[in-house]
Chain A
């Protein structure tokens, strides 16, 4: 059994995330994104690799989208409406609510402003989203009989999720984009400690370690304050959802505290409407916002108002949030063209900019002139403030997550090749986990181990659980509050609880583990006892009282006992009358001479484990050593023991050395 992983996008690059995972006969597509940097057919994943015939419904079990960013959902309407995939699609509630906004915004930019041929229509988007089944966090959803999926909080944007998928015993997590530190409006990624065969994680900041966020926030606010105080205009090109809301909370709060009156604008109705969604989806934001929103919703901004195109060249300072981010076109480009030539103005770039966009050009160095196309260019005299406010986890976060989940294999996607190579080395050397970073359209096969399903009898469990409980008790762990400490209990149990039993394997039946005592009954057979036996002669004598320990010699040492044999023994014959009395004497002899204290006396024998000694009453015992010179003073003791106690064989030897005193 194995997991096959086909990377259709975001392999050794950032953009058009799309990974198809096959396991246990099921095939899941994680994300269906588009690449913002390309305008040709490279912008979509190469779906033909999934199915040559284009019959995607039978080729895929389901599609799961992690969040609403275009590089994760952008190709979905194309895939469902144009390529013709009709199977189930899953995404979280916020993603389902917000993805159409993103898609429509993008479509408009492409078609209306750039005049390109559209890849999908508005109806396509709506039709596509209708087919989506919404997911709630932590909810286990049974896609079909064998495949279950579950979403975990990823923090990256509202509704971002990490997806756990399980088929039979094979388990994987696809993280999508995530953030391990909470921000203004979202919590940090949160996932259970799962047993995983494979973790597919993003690696945008594979080698970066970011400093405290508060310093960066202060810096951001100071830059903006300085600019508006100087009468400048601030352009914040951002996507409508996510970063915009976080910065808005930040600014709204700052404006309130500093009592600023400079207007904050949102371009288009889009972002205003987005805030409406945020209000309803407040359950998906951070704990802090949820708590403070019990009466007034945090997303009811006091200082934010919608922007009108006529305000572009209006005098006076202002702050404008304009879409799209990265200044890849559309309204933000339009405003940029107007505002960039003035030194008073400020352009703040929050987050990651894909290569090829103006945002990327601004971030890499300080260009004074930017060519838009062959004929037009913009003089850039405004200030550029770069804000690493990216909602992606940094390398420490990735390492923490990988270590926390400790999967058997890791695949890195959504990152830059050289950085991924370095991260791979770290994961392999520091955590000892196999790590890969396949390129686009590469197929990777990961072998998994398969557990065997067996039945276990209740008796077996009982015999083990008593041992288990005593372990738990010993380490003073209280059972009732162990819910959160499950792992500790498991660890504890793993360390000490050994189980011993017999596995019964019958053709066409599930193997069954039974307790040793149950075997004969289960097989319907009678035990055939095997015993060793030996009949040993012991001289019965009168013995002088032992004076002290010095008179004895240590003759046998073994794991169970030490045997002391008296050095000087005086013989005086006296025959015995009662066997039991002899056994009593033998017992006391054994107890004084050996360190065995748990020899038990039964009706006619002495017993130590399975070792039995009784007085031999048969004339010609077949187990007796056929030796001559058997004196009257000798009493035969018949010893027998089971093979499991073969180490007690030495007791026979000891008995032979005895010369016991009889008072009768």
Chain B
């Protein structure tokens, strides 16, 4: 087994990517795109404010997307299967599936596949505006902006986004896929339920279990006959309304591939961003609860995985956001929420509507996205993927989320695009708007931000991990309030070791970078191997034997032979072997086993008197002649009757010499009775 980490990813929207070589197959784990890199492109200039964009220093071209660096170097035909754990982890799939050489299988949970598809379609229709503005690429292979002359003009921050730290990532940029590509991709996905067993090529069994990160996202168990693996992606123990981290089903596997790098990206960016925010004199609400939220990773809360700390913190965070929203609305400013995490959006929507209710504010909530309608309809039909409390709503016959009710009473309005006439008729400020895209480069968020960027009463809610300075470049001067909130998007560091203790693996594959930041205690019950980007890690196998099933019909054919010294019996076995559902089976052949009584392999030494007796039983008369030269165990038996024959024996070798074939066979038979063999 070998592991190559292609990318450590970049937070929630771009999970880490690996290639796992197992049983001669290559599994690609996750296939995201780094949408934060969209920041290098300028949004479509609005008619009135063209000069405003010019100063931003962004690329003015049809945006391309940055895929996982290094993935394009792998031959798609060598990738046998892809596992996808969350909707954002599948946005890069069409790049792979549109390659004719790719013929692997893709596995994702039903919900991930559906929401991922909606995200892709969203991206595509938002991108269509660019296509209308710029037209298709003139030189599809190498657009103008990719030339060095153009790239040199970029600021160092943007240049690094385009080229990567070592300047090697230009090859990862791809033009966006088409609707046909998405369709083709979706056809290749095999949708799964949580806990559904799926078998790849008869030898690898994979099961997805809830990871709690978002609705439908999952961790995997990957079982081959030789090793059982837990592939642990970013996980949340107690999410608010969807299924939590199902660690119970991951117990007892040999190996844990720890791939939750959320702590890595969150802390790294936190420091950087707080500084930037201060420098730019942007207004950040400084509330103690927010501070405690970002400092969560360092604090020492009880080592209980399912403490209420996570949930209550998340609830506190959301209610803090709600209070900011209310403040803003009361001050006459609108609120713009460009967040794409489905679960968080649904939670916010519920909390906000409740807050509005309690403050008796009659403010419309708009949800503007090409796929918003479908997404909302879809999440109301997935009770199986939600938390127990939410499922209770199904059993008591209520709608799963309150957006159904909100829509009915005209509190929530859903529109596919900002340019619909109905929206204009209903338009009213202040208002709350949920709309993509969080990169602030495409989608309805761009015109809305243009409208409000200089309004100090309005509020923009961003997630942590977004580089605010870069994100707001095209919207300067910025006066709008910006609230950056960190939603929990992985296992908190202090819970990692208690979790591993419960999972009880033999070996943990752990990211080197995370070890540097959070040193792990030495542990006697399992060992660590550390992986880093683009270095192949060879994992030693620790099972000697493989389990198999011997079918009864074959077992009955066996003729065991007890060995003289030990308590061991042995038998020759001949049958069909086959692999089914990751398990080896041995069954009887159609043609019955032919067991010649002849033994072919002997060991140990031969007692001469025993041999002589055995020979006499078969009517062969002979005498023992001890060899004078050799000291131990070398002797000759001369047979005189009925045929002449010579048997020469030493400790390791016996030679039978006899002209008559029948006699030779008899001697051989006699030998078999006195010597261990098979």
**Residues in A lying within 8 Å of B, measured CB to CB:** 93, 96-97, 100, 129, 134, 136-142, 169, 273, 276-277, 279-283, 293-295, 297, 449-458, 461, 464, 468, 478-483, 486, 489-490, 493-495, 497-507, 511-513, 516, 519-520, 523, 525-535, 622-623, 625-626, 640, 642-644, 646, 649
Contact = CB atoms under 8 A, between A and B. Distances in A.
Contacts of A276: 397
B603 A526 contact: yes
B547 A532 contact: no
B575 A498 contact: yes
B193 interface: yes
A490 B578 contact: yes
Interface string B562-593: 01001111111111111110001111010000
B605 interface: yes
A449 B400 CA distance: 47
B277 interface: no
B600 A643 contact: yes
A310 B578 CA distance: 70
Contacts of A623: 646, 655, 657
Contacts of A293: 377, 381
Given A454-B549, A532-B664, A493 B578 contact: yes
Contact of A528 (B552, B568, B652): B652
Contacts of B620: none
B201 A489 contact: yes
A503 B678 CA distance: 11
A525 B570 contact: no
B374 interface: yes
Nearest to A151: B193
B677 to A, nearest CB: 8
B105 interface: yes
Given A451-B550, A497-B578, A530-B656, A502 B572 contact: yes
B201 A504 contact: no
B603 A527 contact: yes
Contact of B80 (A134, A169, A480, A525): A480
A600 B161 CA distance: 66
B28 to A, nearest CB: 13
Most-contacted residue by chain B among A280, A489, A493 (CB, 10 A): A280
Given A295-B377, A452-B550, A480-B80, A528 B575 contact: no
Contact of A493 (B198, B579, B605, B659): B579
Contacts of B373: 295
Nearest to A458: B546
B656 A458 contact: no
A464 B573 CA distance: 13
B659 A534 contact: yes
Contacts of A449: 551-553
Interface in B187-237: 190, 192-202, 207, 225-226
Interface string B660-678: 0100100010010001111
30 contacts: A93-B391, A139-B194, A452-B549, A452-B555, A453-B549, A456-B545, A468-B579, A480-B104, A493-B578, A498-B577, A502-B572, A504-B568, A505-B560, A506-B568, A516-B601, A519-B601, A525-B676, A527-B602, A527-B603, A528-B651, A528-B677, A530-B602, A531-B653, A532-B664, A532-B668, A533-B655, A534-B659, A625-B659, A643-B600, A644-B598
A626 B586 CA distance: 52
Q: Interface SS of chain A: helix, strand, loop or mixed? A: mixed
B558 interface: yes
A640 B655 contact: yes
B604 interface: yes
Interface residues of B, number: 100
B151 interface: no
A134 B576 contact: no
Contacts of A622: 636, 646, 648, 657
A455 B548 contact: yes
A281 B383 contact: yes
A193 to B, nearest CB: 11
B602 A494 contact: no
B374 A295 contact: yes
Contacts of B654: 528-531
A277 B397 contact: yes
5 closest Cβ contacts across the A-B interface?
A455-B545, A623-B657, A499-B577, A139-B195, A525-B603
Contacts of A646: 664
Nearest to A450: B552
Interface in B534-558: 544-553, 555, 558
B220 to A, nearest CB: 14
A502 B576 contact: no
Given A273-B397, A451-B551, A622-B636, A503 B570 contact: yes
Contacts of A279: 380-381
Contacts of A453: 547-550
Interface string B384-395: 100000010011
Contacts of B399: 280
A458 B603 contact: no
B98 interface: no
B604 A528 contact: yes
Nearest to A285: B381
